Amino acid sequence: MSPLSSYNPEPHVVLFPFMAKGHIIPLLHLARLLLDHRATVTLFTTPANRPYIDQSLSDDDITIIDLPFPVNIPGIPSGIESTDKLPSMSLFLSFAKATKLMQPNFENLLQTLPHVSCIISDQFLHWTFESATKFGIPSLGFNGMSAYSSAICRDASVNGLLSLHESPDEPFTLTSFPWIKLTRNDFDYPFNKRDPSSPLFDFIVDIYKALSNCYGLLVNSFYELEPLFVDYLNRESKPKAFCVGPLCLTRPQKVEPVLQNKCRWIQWLDKKLAQGNPVLYVAFGSQAEISPTQLTEIAGGLEESKVSFLWVVRKSGTELGEEFEDRIKERGMVVKEWVDQKRILEHEIVQGFLSHCGWNSVLESICSEVPILAWPMMAEQQLNAKMVVEEIKIGLRVESRNGIIEAESLKNKVKELMEGENGNEVRKRVKEVAEAARNSIKDGGSSWHTLSQLIKEIHLQN
C-alpha cells in the first residue's frame, strides 16, 4: 500500500503509445475512454508526434508530456519519430530498439508525477514495463492485435510449428484450433522464412518475455467477436487478456471548427450518395509499401471494374500519373493526403473496403457496417484477413499470383463484393457483427464491464 498522503481517489493512468499511427490512434481512443471511467490520464510521446496527439485530444483534459526522441540512429533521418514516416520499413527494428534510449528520461519524469496507478504501453516499448516494475507500478501491455492473431502466433510458436514445415505453402493445422488451415506464408518475417538468427526474432522473444510479466494484455476487440481465442489466451498464456474494444467506438472528440468544412472527398461521397452510386473505399493503412507494378495493376483493376471508388494512396501516390485520374474522374477519386478514415467508412454510400486488414481498419470497417475485400500485406495482416474471411465471414479475399494481384483478378473480386451474391452475404453479416460491437461498449456491455473491473482491480493494487 502507498502512504495515505499520496492516495489518489481517482486512478491515474500513464499511457505511452508506440510511434506509429496504427498504434497511436487506438490508445488515443483509450485515453478518452479512461476519462469516461473517471481516471486521470498522462500521456507520453515525442515532440514530432505531439502536434497530432494535441489535435486529437484537444477537447480532453489529458496531460501530455514529450520526451526527446533519440538522435543519430543509423539510417533514420533526423525529425522522423514515427514508423509511418520511415524511408523504409526495413528500419523498423533500429527504430523500435532506439526508443529504449528514452528510458532514463522516462523514469526521471515518472518520478515527478502524482501517484501512478498503472502504466499502459505498447509492446514495442517493452522497456517501459521494466520501468513500471522498478517503481512497483502495475503495467498493461498493448499489441494492437486481435485475440485471434495473438492466439495463433502463440500457439504456432509454442508448438514449434513454423520450424517443422519445409515448404512455405504446405498447409498445417494448430493443435488448439484444428479447423484453421495455415501455411508459413500466413506469418510475417522472420517466421515465414524460418529465420531464428534474425535480430527481429530475438526482439519478438524479448517482447513475449516482457509481456508475460505485465499485469494484463489490453486487447482492442470485444469478447463476443472471438470468444474462443480470448479464452485460449486466458487459459494458455500470460498475462490475462482484457478485451476493451472496439476502441474506435469511443465517443469522438468534438470536431475542430477548421475541420467542420467538408473536405473534397466527403463532398464527393455526398454527390455519389445523391446519384445512388455505391462506393468502394480503397486504402492500405499508414505504412504499406506498394511497388509501381502493383500500383498499375490496382489502377487497372479499379478502372475496369466500373465501380465507383475512393482511393487513398499514401506513400506512392505520385507514381500514378495524371492521365489515370483524368480517365476515372467521373467514377473515382484519388486522395494523397491523410484522411479521416473512420468518417469515410461511416458515410452511408461507402459499401465496400479494399483493405490491407490492419487491425484498426478491420474494426473501423466492422463498426461502420462495411464488408471488406481483404488484401493483406505485412505484419499480422495475413491472419487478420483469414479471420475476416473464414472466421467472422465479413469479407472476401483477393488472390495473388507470383506475389502480384493482377488487374483482372482484382476487377472480378471488386465486382463480386460490390454487386455479387457473396458480397450481399458478407454485407448482411457485417451488420450483425457491428451491432454486437456497439452492444459490447455500452454501459453494461462486455467491454465496458471488463474495463470497469480492470480499473477497480488496479486501484486495489495501489
Instruction: Pick left, alpha or beta for residue 19 (phi over 0 → left; psi -120 to 50 → alpha; otherwise beta).
Output: beta
CB of 272 to ligand UDP, least distance (A): 19
Residue 376 within binding range of ligand UDP, rule CB under 6 A: no
CB of 435 to ligand UDP, least distance (A): 21
- Where in 184-213 is the site for ligand UDP (CB under 6 A)? none
CB of 172 to ligand UDP, least distance (A): 27
Contact pattern for ligand UDP over residues 336 through 355, marking x by CB under 6 A: --xxxxx-------------
- Where in 260-289 is the site for ligand UDP (CB under 6 A)? 285-287
Residue with cell 498493448: 142
Tell me how far apart the alpha carbons of residues 261 and 65 are, in angstroms, rounded to a whole number.
Answer: 31
Residue number with CB closer to ligand UDP (138 or 352): 352
Q: Among 431, 432, 433, 413, which residue's Cα sits nearest to residue 423?
A: 413
Residue 3 within binding range of ligand UDP, rule CB under 6 A: no
Please report, in angstroms and rounded to a whole number, the separation of the first and last CA atoms in the chain.
Answer: 6
Tell me how far apart the alpha carbons of residues 249 and 220 are, in angstroms, rounded to a whole number.
Answer: 11
Q: Among 337, 363, 370, 311, which residue's Cα sits nearest to residue 144?
A: 363
- Where in 35-74 is the site for ligand UDP (CB under 6 A)? 48-49, 51-52
CB of 346 to ligand UDP, least distance (A): 11
Tell me how far apart the alpha carbons of residues 135 and 334 are, in angstroms, rounded to a whole number.
Answer: 50
Q: Among 2, 120, 229, which residue's Cα sits nearest to residue 451?
A: 120
Q: What residue spans of 92-143 are helical by DSSP H?
A: 92-98, 103-110, 127-134
Residue 29 within binding range of ligand UDP, rule CB under 6 A: no
Reported as type and span, the H/E element at residue 281 is: strand 279-283
Residue number with CB closer to ligand UDP (242 or 375): 375
Residue 220 within binding range of ligand UDP, rule CB under 6 A: no
CB of 336 to ligand UDP, least distance (A): 8
Among 361, 382, 447, 450, binds ligand UDP (CB under 6 A): 361
Q: Among 59, 64, 57, 70, which residue's Cα sits nearest to residue 98?
A: 70
CB of 376 to ligand UDP, least distance (A): 10
Backbone angles phi, psi at 159, to 5 degrees: -90, 5
Q: Among 166, 168, 416, which residue's Cα sits nearest to residue 305?
A: 416
Among 312, 313, 451, 454, binds ligand UDP (CB under 6 A): 312
Residue number with CB closer to ligand UDP (27 or 174): 27
Is the CB of residue 62 less than 8 Å from the CB of residue 34? no
Tell me how far apart the alpha carbons of residues 124 and 226 are, in angstroms, rounded to a whole number.
Answer: 24
Residue 364 within binding range of ligand UDP, rule CB under 6 A: yes
Among 139, 360, 446, 447, binds ligand UDP (CB under 6 A): 360
Residue number with CB closer to ligand UDP (81 or 391): 81
Residue number with CB closer to ligand UDP (165 or 336): 336
Question: Looking at 80-88, 156-164, 394-402, 447-455, which segment touches ligand UDP (CB under 6 A)?
Answer: 80-88
Binding site residues, ligand UDP, CB under 6 A: 21-22, 25, 48-49, 51-52, 80-82, 85, 285-287, 312, 338-342, 358-361, 364
